[in-house]
Amino acid sequence: MPTRKRDDSWLNEQCRVTLARLMPRLEARFAEGIDPAAWRAYTDRLKRYFPRLFNALLTLYGSRYDFFYHLEQILITATESWAGRPDALKALDASRAGDPQWFQSQRMIGAMCYVDLFADDLAGVRGKIPYLSEMGITFLHLMPPFLSPEGDDDGGYAISSYRDIDPKLGSMNDMVELATELRHYGISLCLDFVFNHTSDEHEWAKRALAGDEEYQNFYRMFPDRTEPDIYEENLRAVFPDEHPGAFTYRNRIGKWVWTTFHNYQWDLNYENPAVFNAMSGEMLSLANVGVEVLRLDAVAFVWKREGTNCENLPEAHTVIQAFNALVQIAAPAMLFLSEAIVHPDDVIKYIHREECQISYNPQLMALLWNTLATRDVTLLHRAMERRFTLPSDCAWLNYVRSHDDIGWTFSDDDAQDLGMNPFDHRRFLNEFFTGRFPGSFARGLPFQDNPDTGDMRISGTTASLAGLEAAIATGDDAEIDLAISRILLMYGIVLTIGGVPLIYLGDELGVTNDYGYERDPSLIGDSRWAHRIKADWERAESRHDRSSVPGKIFLGLLRLIQIRQQNLAFTRADTEIVKTGNPHVFGYFRRHENQSMLVLANFTEREQIISARRLRTLGLRKTVTDILAGKIIVATEEMRLAPYQLAVLLAAA
């Protein structure tokens, strides 16, 4: 312990001395022409967060002889960004400082879409803001709109320039105008920060291909297979259909390039501090466009080390923590959203106010679908009971579907504790959701089916996976109603369980799979395009018709959104997962100050019963109100839940 204290004391002193030496240099370079009060506010923030930044960068790069040079360059990048930050965004910085948990409000409702599929271009998205407002949307995630290669672009995730928009969608000025108008409507813009890799058409990659060693060092390149073979002893193939390993040979330079995902996506080398500085500039430029939530893509893969699987390494967290500290200094209104589709125990490690304040909840998503297939809530209950709780200043982003495939990211330990064979169970889920299992209602598609490992993921829209496509094909009205109930059940849970709910646009209208991708040479083989669908605005015209399928889903979803937004139990509240006494019914309490809600979800197509004794044990008064159904429930009598019913009971706090 005394040694630890000396280490901390030494580190703190080095931090103090370093900043004292750098401040005069920054002031000489930037302070002239800046309002003294504004400069003082900025430097106060710099002094507050510099220790975090210094500690993180020292961990990553402290052994380098040029550490202090790169540290100064990173501070210059941050200060230049802050100096160029629009006044309206600096005002937002100040506003969010007074309400740092703003994203935990019950009014937060997220939506995500591709710009071109939703509204053709950025101007079109502006024109659809009233539609988003009608739904109560306050958070809009646009899939990557940046310049990317024609054809092979991984749905926009192969970035050729972080500062240029795909010309088919508009310009960066159009993005600034959209961000501004969204903000006026109370909608926070979310964009992706694809920081693990660039496309091979990025300017840095082009220079590397031209033989520029400075930019070859921006990536991980090897002259022969010696090191790649050592690494691949422990790596998994992310896209086995694309290429079996993680390296691609480029004969122009005679080198093997690290390509975790696709052969046109080159992994950046974060062991090079120049890469960290360059990507800091790209990140902060997005903040100054008006991005309020930055989705950090593929966070698990950013650091590599021989002898490991190169996922979730400690340095990956340190890189994000350093980025976080920079944002607190230069653009503190912006939050980080973690995209870590990894083991549930690893997902949680990215969630912290000093790392990612918000995180996707892939475990909840996967287990909602699992529970629809099994009709048994036991695995869902166990997983949520163990891992749903987060620090009070962080939140989950809960979703039913996204642009990506569904991977069965539940914990093997949880499954084995319940007597399940994880491998066999995943195989069952794949069979069920591709419609191969007898009695399945789902019409999903296999994605990245690996016969060697038995691994497979699932593509498909919410409606097709929930049975709507199959029911419409047979014309069975009862099955159509059950499919609609499944959709609303799952969205009801993500809207009430705690965190930020996210709607994959199109789900609100019940769109089914589009198989047209099979006729497009640039898309064939990637079944995810079955659920990446052009918005059907003619279908949307019927959204207020209560007798139509789109109307039933849209109006049902609006009712759920209203319930969330009108009740404080769904803001900054605690979630307690409870046993309902029925293996087919999932339950949880939401509590905030003097308001408490008990949510019950029937995951079967049959009526389910909750005993009166169980209701009383859960603390319900003799009579409670189901505020979703608008009915009085007598807790001294057994409660009957209709097929796929979600009940939201206003209980005593």
SS (H, E, C) 408-420: CCCCHHHHHHCCC
Which pLDDT score is estimated for 236?
87
> Which listed residue (200, 297, 311, 455) is catalytic?
297
Which pLDDT score is estimated for 595?
87
**How much is the average pLDDT of 105-112?**
97
**How much is the average pLDDT of 199-216?**
98
Query: Nearest Cα to 360, choosing from 401, 391, 324, 392?
Result: 401
> Which listed residue (116, 242, 339, 405) is catalytic?
339
pLDDT greater than 70 at residue 13: yes
Report residue 473: phi and psi, to 5°: -60, -35
**Number of C-alpha atoms within 13 angstroms, CB side, residue 360?**
26
Which CATH architecture fits 573-651?
Answer: Sandwich (2.60)
Which pLDDT score is estimated for 240?
75
Yes or no: is domain 203-267 CATH 3.90.400.10?
A: yes
Q: Which helix (H) or strand (E) holds 633?
A: strand 631-634
Tens digits of residue pLDDT in 398-426: 999 999 999 999 999 999 999 999 999 99
Tens digits of residue pLDDT in 460-470: 999 999 999 99
Residues of the chain with CATH 3.90.400.10: 203-267
271 included as an active-site residue: no
Where residue 1 falls among pLDDT bands split at 50, 70, 90? very low
Where residue 635 falls among pLDDT bands split at 50, 70, 90? confident
80 included as an active-site residue: no
- Alpha carbon distance 604, 588 (integer Å): 18
Q: Which amino acid is it at 75?
A: L
- Alpha carbon distance 496, 605 (integer Å): 21
pLDDT greater than 70 at residue 350: yes
Sheet strands (E) in 269-388: 293-296, 335-338, 358-360
pLDDT greater than 60 at residue 365: yes
- Alpha carbon distance 450, 427 (integer Å): 12
Pairing of strands 595-602, 146-147: unpaired
Query: Nearest Cα to 25, choosing from 73, 87, 92, 97?
Result: 73
- Alpha carbon distance 594, 571 (integer Å): 12
Yes or no: is domain 102-194+271-405+459-466+479-568 CATH 3.40.50.300?
A: no
Question: Contact, 109 vs 136, CB < 8 A?
Answer: yes
Express as a percent the part of the chain with pLDDT over 90. 90
- Using left for φ > 0, alpha for ψ between -120 and 50, and beta otherwise, residue 435 falls in left
**How much is the average pLDDT of 3-20?**
81
- Alpha carbon distance 441, 18 (integer Å): 63
pLDDT greater than 80 at residue 436: yes
Which pLDDT score is estimated for 592?
87
Written as six digits, the tokens of 312 are 């979730």
- Alpha carbon distance 653, 648 (integer Å): 14
Report residue 629: phi and psi, to 5°: -85, -20
Residues of the chain with CATH 3.20.20.80: 102-194+271-405+459-466+479-568
Task: Say whether 143 sits in a helix, a strand or coil.
Answer: coil
Report residue 586: phi and psi, to 5°: -90, 140
Q: How many CB atoms lie within 10 A of CB 33?
A: 7
Query: Nearest Cα to 608, choosing from 566, 580, 581, 641?
Result: 641
Tens digits of residue pLDDT in 572-621: 878 999 999 999 999 999 998 888 999 999 999 999 999 999 999 998 88
User: In 31-66, which residue ranges form alpha helices assigned H by DSSP?
Assistant: 36-61
